[in-house]
Homo-oligomer: A and B are copies of this chain.
Amino acid sequence: MAAPPHFTGSLGYPPSSPSPRSHLHCLSPCNRAIKVSMSQNQSYWTCVTQKIEDQLKQLIPVRPPLLVYEPMHHLVFTARRTMAPALCVATCELVGGQQPISPNQALVVASALHLVQAALFTHEQLPLTDRPIPSNPETLTHHHAFAAGVELLTGDGILSFVYELLGRSDDPAGGNSERLLRVIIEIARAMGSEGMVDGQYRKMLCSVLGSEELCDVGWVDHVCEKKEGRLYACGAACGAILGGGSEEEIEKLRNYGLYVGKIHGLMLYYHNNRTGGEEKGFTDLVERCTSLALKELEGFNQGMVQTLSSLVRASFWDKSVYASCKYICGKEGGRIQSSQHF
């Protein structure tokens, strides 16, 4: 998938340019990789996302009873990926928190963030009797591997597992329960009726009404803010909370996450729905969000900031990054989401 014109050059962080050695390693989720070859920011994100993927595989194995874990495994690993989980690990490391959290707690919360996304994504694809049939059948690319009832219940099962997982990750000896409860509130709010669920509702409303006036750039902006924006903001804030960041740091990183999520959501929408004529609107939006995002990183350690800020730079959208991360775009990179699945 090529980056849209705007994202090549002006905002560019050339893929070939070496970035400084990352300082993001206090949680050491990828220690070996960082020490040996962490010469590019890209390597950091690839490494963290791989660690999260490994953690998810441990958490959601295919095991008996198969009627429970087979659909759960399938839906978790076919759901669209985002960078929100990796952002959680990164902000935890950014604020420098090593104690009193356990080394894996940020990875657990990162996994929980993907599970929430997977459950809501699954519910979004359910064939309900009153959902509109797409005018262009080619856009109906989502394959349902299981009956709708099974996918519905599996989504509910994944959601319950999220909170069980978070609760279980508490280490009473670590005195970290209050921080974990705060993370639970953050995730519940990000997912809830004024967060991602609201974004899904607004999106559905546009699908049903289909009015061009309703579904303009402003509408896309709102949906992206509620869906990807709230998810990324939550990931960034949770990482900072776990890492023991100050209230100011938590809020700045939450804002950073919100803008990054909006940009990623807008990019996804742009790639799946380019109808021409709206490029300027999207470009302006992304530029504004990028500028606001980078502003939120002021004051943090510059070495760390370079890796964090690579998320909003053009090089991140390079196909090779997509492919290596296996994130954002789902499976093996490339165009996988139809407009029905934005």
Contacts and interface: CB of A to CB of B under 8 A. Distances in A.
Interface of A: 67-69, 72, 119-120, 123, 126-131, 147-150, 152-154, 156-157, 159-164, 166-168, 170, 172, 177-178, 180-182, 184-185, 187-189, 191-195, 197-198, 200-201, 204, 208
A112 to B, nearest CB: 11
15 contacts: A127-B129, A128-B149, A131-B148, A149-B201, A150-B201, A153-B201, A159-B159, A162-B188, A163-B185, A163-B187, A164-B192, A167-B181, A167-B185, A177-B177, A177-B181
A119 to B, nearest CB: 8
Contacts of A147: 130, 208
Contacts of A182: 167
Contacts of A127: 128-130
Contacts of A180: 177, 181
A155 to B, nearest CB: 8
A153 B120 CA distance: 9
A34 B145 CA distance: 55
A189 B201 contact: no
Contacts of A170: 178, 181
A28 to B, nearest CB: 26
Contact of A188 (B123, B163, B191, B198): B163
A67 B201 contact: yes
B193 A68 contact: yes
Closest 7 CB pairs of A and B: A157-B193, A160-B192, A177-B177, A164-B188, A167-B185, A128-B148, A163-B188
Most central of A130, A150, A168, A181 by chain B CB within 10 Å? A181
